[in-house]
Amino acid sequence: MNRNPSRSDNLIHQFDTVLRTLVPHAAQASRPSPASPEVHDDPMDEEERRHAAGLMRINHTGEVCAQALYQGQGLTAKLPDVRGQMEASARDEIDHLAWCDERLEELHDRPSLLNPLFYAASFGIGAVAGAVGDRMSLGFLAATEQQVGRHLEEHLVELPSADQRSRAVLRQMAIDEAQHAQLALEAGGARFPAPVKFGMRLMAKVMSGSVYRV
């Protein structure tokens, strides 16, 4: 039987996304983690392990924010042809979330306790951008993806040299995020002026600074 999803179906779907994002180990990746069994770490001391976990916690929270942004974008999108493309990007983000979660567990650590807060904030921002229109919400997605990409490049350098498994995850994420940014721009996303991007960088700094430890 073919039917359009009702309001309550949609509400259940949205709630399911929130749970899968915020409950540890609930996200299911559709692709195997790039940290495959063939990728081996060298031994790390406690300080290195803590540093690697702090960086991976930042990346995990970044993916929590991505879930919220794509969810907000999906709820407000008006152009049906854009929706399909953005849903494909959102599926990649679920992989990223699950991979970071797995890696944190391997490092005997946990995701950030602040995730619900960042999820709510990102959802709010996504919904406001979406209310303004597709051009704004796609532009915001593109700018965020570009910023995440820059973070990933920095983390690839900052990670302890022994940590090859986190590196494998971040390398694939960087490839995916660059493609997501491109897709959002091609779908009609606005290119944001430098002051807006500066504000976004400042917000990202606040997020990374707190999540590294908490």
Which residues of the shown chain bind Fe ion in the complex (CB under 5 A)? 66, 93, 96, 145, 177, 180
**In the complex, minimum distance from the CB of residue 70 to Fe ion, in angstroms, rounded to a whole number:** 8
Nearer to Fe ion, 102 or 145 (CB): 145
Q: Which is nearer to Fe ion, 61 or 76 (CB)?
A: 61
The CB-of-66 to Fe ion minimum distance in angstroms stands at 5
Nearer to Fe ion, 11 or 150 (CB): 150
Under 8 Å between Cβ of 214 and 112 = yes
What SS3 string covers 164-196? HHHHHHHHHHHHHHHHHHHHHHHCCCCCCCHHH
Count of beta carbons in the 10 Å neighbourhood of residue 185:
18
Closest contact distance (angstroms) between CB of 72 and Fe ion is: 14
Work out the end-to-end distance of the chain between its first and last CA atoms, rounded to an integer number of angstroms. 48
Of residues 58 and 66, the one with the C-beta less far from Fe ion? 66
Q: For the chain, percent helix, then strand, then coil, each to nearest 5?
A: 75, 0, 25
Determine contact, residues 41/164, Cβ cutoff 8 Å: yes
Least distance (Å) between residue 17 CB and Fe ion: 15
**CA–CA distance, 88 with 140 (Å, rounded to integer):** 17
